[in-house]
Structure 1
């Protein structure tokens, strides 16, 4: 079989990347760098229950510390598990099915922790310049007699069916699409989330007999379309994504070994990108070697301009799991960057615990500089109004930098360099991203010249407003400064 140019480049890239230590690769300014933050059973968070004012504060501080560490590694997207098993981490309404609170927060299924955990997570992510996506587990609803499954069985008779001891929403029932669409629209309406990510949006692999393939795929696609349409109607900038099975289908490069999204669980994830129902996809690629690379490229080639963000099984690094070497993951990271894809770590705790040195590698080497997420496909625009009037004022122990806004609902990216004008195309000049305020405080040594761009909710960036070189205060000109709290904490 004659290989096309892309396949040749792919093969060559693998050869090069297997010698990671000798390979140098640039730092992109645009890249999705994500983690899944798992709340079921408190796997990633929370590690304590909120049952009083003191324990609530302790639980919230746990999340702040996790997000601080993710920020220091220049992670820019957090997918927080929001709907767990027909249970939620926020106070649902009639629109979102009045689903009970999950017990991970209070220790008691159905009991509120005394605060809105989703609202808190969104606010804390944004404070650190990170996107926050609501991770919604769609079809599984937990143990048949569990609080979530029982609530759904009582409120929507017949919508749930049983496999073993577990309950699942019926993909073929039109009420399932309507229910999940209302649930996701309620999140988009009430919370300032940047995305909604559907997990387990497929048929259960445990189901003994699946419907005819085209019928089953149409059932799942109907749910995806309903969610897409409902969210778009509320806030068109909220990204819709999903986490499909890691191998889309058999490819002409490699066989999927019988485990794939499209044929095995009737998940037509590439078609969803083609139809515009998905803005991003996070295939769960917890593999290595021939089970990873051919299928990663297959996703990228079939993305139709949407962001592909493969999920990496960093939990496999742990000795109690599969005891992978760090090189197994770093090679995958380099190949994904070479191919223009992002990455998502499964899961957060294995990353922040620095298993096999993965956190050190990402924070000190692979993601040394911040990155902005790619522009939402189909929403590209050059009409974002640039900020104006950058000012630098000396203050006790440092300086303050401020600018003026020329639009509503804009975020700001701040760049700094010892060269003038500041080159805003370089990731190494990014100081902070997605800032809501119009000033930053400087207290320690740092490069001199500043530039600021505005960014809309789709990720479009304005032209830079450069700091006027001639107008630098004389007492500041010789100095170098460092931003201690660039995100307004």
Structure 2
């Protein structure tokens, strides 16, 4: 009875539509493995290269129109990648051939196109699984199972990197160093950073005997995963401290005092300790895969937030279950979950996967664009990394052009982190001064130049007053410079 009352109290705020926050992560997983979301076309000649690019641009345009601000772009799948790497081969989904060069750099292209639209691009990297035997065989001598056999193990017709081998963290960090060092990514996002589910016979006994130092097998495995997380986090921060480091762990940490995980959770089932990572401060964001309904969602989402240690909790929503072949949820289930996330002041939500947004499954895309994401949102700041905002932009000059267009020019701001130039947020309103706390007034975000052409959808909807702030890559926003036409 008490549990029922608790869940009822949790759900009570959901009868109200929550006000749209100014700061909110709105993310979508863009899945490349098997071409699930992208690409549909193989890049084999100039025409198909262009078509493959256009398919990605169409997705990003639609996400931008719905005011998404974060793209989790699949960059490594299972022992292969979507960028020219000195370590692993190109994924065959790009060209139809393992290691086939698509004639362009998909990761660089994705980052450039996301940044054009003011969106962040995070490199989504599958970590431990290397694929089934058929897939590994298809990679031939380019497979890590051939190049560095010692860190790979077979288990149940698949291959995995061995988290218990010290060389595994070095290998993963080598890949991460390649991505973070060579690309202007906004984040690195790790998937399957865990052991296989319920794997008591995982072949790591030799390493356990060698390295356990008196720990139980279960604790040793959890410590192995945590050490990989720690090593990569510190490695990324030593290179580019503004790059966000995140994982998508199993959606239930373990049993809570409010509700049982029913025997399936991160801590025991796959040897993850993500709440420990949060407490240690070796994650910036956590995207728990909360592809659940009802009591399997709300108590566990609340548990993540309560144990966040001030880091960003971004529940992953299983919108694929809206499809009749997957689960045939009704869309109000997702609506309630977003309202709950906002009511508990979590950092935002991620949508798995892009396809169901593009297909507008059960009207989910329309609901977001018309209601939940009707106005833009900025990235939440990361004060544990940097809490000093840039100086304010200055000397704003506003020039009216024909058809309601307006040109804005200003002097650049400066930031305490001199490795990055500040970006700019453009606000517009018919009231002066422009209220920069109202997300309705955001016109554009993450503008990288000191000029901007304001083009209203309709000339008679043009705004009279403008404000511009500077923002750094940690999410710290400056004071505004204001002006009028």
The TM-score, its normalising length taken from structure 1, stands at 0.90
Q: Which residue of 1 aligns with 2:116?
A: 127
Q: Which residue of 1 aligns with 2:438?
A: 426
Q: Which residue of 1 aligns with 2:48?
A: 55
Distance in structure 2 (CA, Å) of the matches to 1:253 and 1:100: 46
In the alignment of these two chains, the number of paired residues is 458
Q: Which residue of 2 aligns with 1:318?
A: 323
Deviation, 1:377, is 4.0
- 1:80 and 2:78 matched: no
Distance in structure 2 (CA, Å) of the matches to 1:206 and 1:357: 37
Deviation, 1:10, is 7.2
1:70 aligned residue (63, 74, 81): 63
Q: Which residue of 1 aligns with 2:473?
A: 457
Distance in structure 1 (CA, Å) of the matches to 2:277 and 2:228: 11
400-409 or 69-78, which deviates more = 400-409
- 1:441 and 2:441 matched: no
Q: Which residue of 1 aligns with 2:98?
A: 109
Query: Is the 8 Å Cα contact of residues 241 and 278 (structure 1) preserved in structure 2?
Result: yes
Q: Which residue of 2 aligns with 1:417?
A: 429
Q: Over residues 147-177 of structure 1, what are the superposed CA-to-partner deviations in whole Å (9 max), with x where a residue is unaligned?
A: 4586111110221111222110000000001
- 1:205 and 2:197 matched: yes
- 1:138 and 2:124 matched: no
- 1:362 and 2:368 matched: yes
Query: Is the 8 Å Cα contact of residues 79 and 144 (structure 2) preserved in structure 1?
Result: yes
- 1:176 and 2:173 matched: no
Q: Which residue of 1 aligns with 2:212?
A: none
Distance in structure 1 (CA, Å) of the matches to 2:117 and 2:44: 27
Deviation, 1:448, is 1.4
Which structure 1 segments of 5+ residues have no match? 473-489
Distance in structure 1 (CA, Å) of the matches to 2:311 and 2:11: 24
Q: Over residues 418-445 of structure 1, what are the superposed CA-to-partner deviations in whole Å (9 max), with x where a residue is unaligned?
A: 1111111111111111111222223433
Q: Secondary structure at the match of 2:467?
A: strand
Q: Over residues 228-280 of structure 1, what are the superposed CA-to-partner deviations in whole Å (9 max), with x where a residue is unaligned?
A: 11111110000000000010000011110111001111100011111111000
Q: Which residue of 2 aligns with 1:481?
A: none
Distance in structure 1 (CA, Å) of the matches to 2:139 and 2:253: 30
Query: Is the 8 Å Cα contact of residues 428 and 434 (structure 2) preserved in structure 1?
Result: yes
Change (3 A) 1:148 1:241: farther
Q: Which residue of 2 aligns with 1:333?
A: 338
Distance in structure 2 (CA, Å) of the matches to 1:41 and 1:402: 45
1:350 aligned residue (344, 347, 356): 356
Which structure 2 segments of 5+ residues have no match? 203-215, 415-419
Q: Which residue of 2 aligns with 1:185?
A: 177
Distance in structure 2 (CA, Å) of the matches to 1:318 and 1:249: 28
Query: Is the 8 Å Cα contact of residues 470 and 478 (structure 2) preserved in structure 1?
Result: yes
- 1:236 and 2:229 matched: no
Matches of residues 264-279 of structure 1 in structure 2 within 5 Å?
264-279=269-284
Q: Secondary structure at the match of 2:149?
A: coil
Distance in structure 2 (CA, Å) of the matches to 1:189 and 1:298: 35
Query: Is the 8 Å Cα contact of residues 86 and 149 (structure 1) preserved in structure 2?
Result: no
Deviation, 1:144, is 2.4
Query: Is the 8 Å Cα contact of residues 389 and 472 (structure 2) preserved in structure 1?
Result: no
Deviation, 1:382, is 3.4
Distance in structure 1 (CA, Å) of the matches to 2:398 and 2:280: 48
Deviation, 1:15, is 2.3
Q: Secondary structure at the match of 1:106?
A: coil
162-171 or 357-366, which deviates more = 162-171
1:46 aligned residue (16, 36, 39): 39
Deviation, 1:41, is 0.9
Distance in structure 1 (CA, Å) of the matches to 2:434 and 2:10: 32
Deviation, 1:92, is 0.8
The TM-score, its normalising length taken from structure 2, stands at 0.91
Distance in structure 2 (CA, Å) of the matches to 1:16 and 1:245: 26
2:230 aligned residue (225, 230, 237): 225
Q: Which residue of 1 aligns with 2:251?
A: 246
Deviation, 1:346, is 0.3
- Root-mean-square deviation (CA, aligned residues, Å) is 1.8
Deviation, 1:107, is 1.2
Distance in structure 1 (CA, Å) of the matches to 2:233 and 2:385: 15
- 1:24 and 2:31 matched: no
Distance in structure 2 (CA, Å) of the matches to 1:141 and 1:315: 24
1:384 aligned residue (390, 403, 408): 390
Query: Is the 8 Å Cα contact of residues 279 and 377 (structure 1) preserved in structure 2?
Result: no
Q: Which residue of 2 aligns with 1:100?
A: 89
Q: Secondary structure at the match of 2:93?
A: helix
Change (3 A) 1:9 1:30: farther
Change (3 A) 1:134 1:70: same
Change (3 A) 1:72 1:10: farther
